[in-house]
Amino acid sequence: MPWADSLLEIWGEPLFVQPVYSGGAVMGWLALRLPSVPLPHSEEAFAAMFCDLAGSAFYREKRVSMMAEANRMLDEAAKGVVGILGHALAMKDPYTVGHQINVANLAQAMAKRGGYDETFQETVYYAGLVHDLGKITIPSSILSKPGILSEIEFSIIRNHALYGWEILSSADLPWPLADIVIQHHEHIDGSGYPFGLKGDAICREARFLSVADVVEAISSDRPYRPGLGIGKALGEIRENRGSWYDPEASDLCMEVIGDGFAFDTENYKLFIQ
């Protein structure tokens, strides 16, 4: 211990030196300059207790750091899973993936505008990225049909929220995406689907997605019609604010768009080769 020789030169003898162990390894040393020797047993016991506590603190800090790194890796893995699911849908229906990206961005902007914390913002964003994932089970002939859907075809489309829940509920993710996805077509007056939930029975994240989803769908091009424009989309929200759509989410959406938010049309080209 070269540092001990330096201490002896500065302090002289006698010295009391004791290692600080943490996790079986020496993490530091306690060095005391003594007025006399030997050190009383009570003080020696106190010094040993101090070293034990210091070692425990070092070990706890190390464990916290390791847990933080493990959580970061799990979080990145979860985001990777969401990305994989999005790419899987892109192979079936690139249009829907572009729609999902736009909805995710709008829902996140609404949450940020409303002062919601980063966890909520992240949750609505990743829920938006996969909210139509269940459409991967819908025949392409229905998804890409240029004309108006028949009643049977529309009933098949409506099942996509259930199919999305089935897919997402099998994955262990840090966000309740399955529950949000299955509720994003519910209306606060109970007229939505698949369960006819009302008011607060619909999770707040799904209420945000419901508004973002409708605004993006109306304003953008669809396989069966050209986009109707943001004015028409906001008119739909104003007309059904408080009946179909959550008032807070509706107001935040209109404020965000009023502040200049615009959908990125390039998102529809990301997965088209």
- Give the active site residues: 135
How far apart, in whole angstroms, are the C-alpha atoms of residue 16 and residue 141?
83
How far apart, in whole angstroms, are the C-alpha atoms of residue 118 and residue 262?
22
> Nearest Cα to 99, choosing from 121, 124, 132?
132
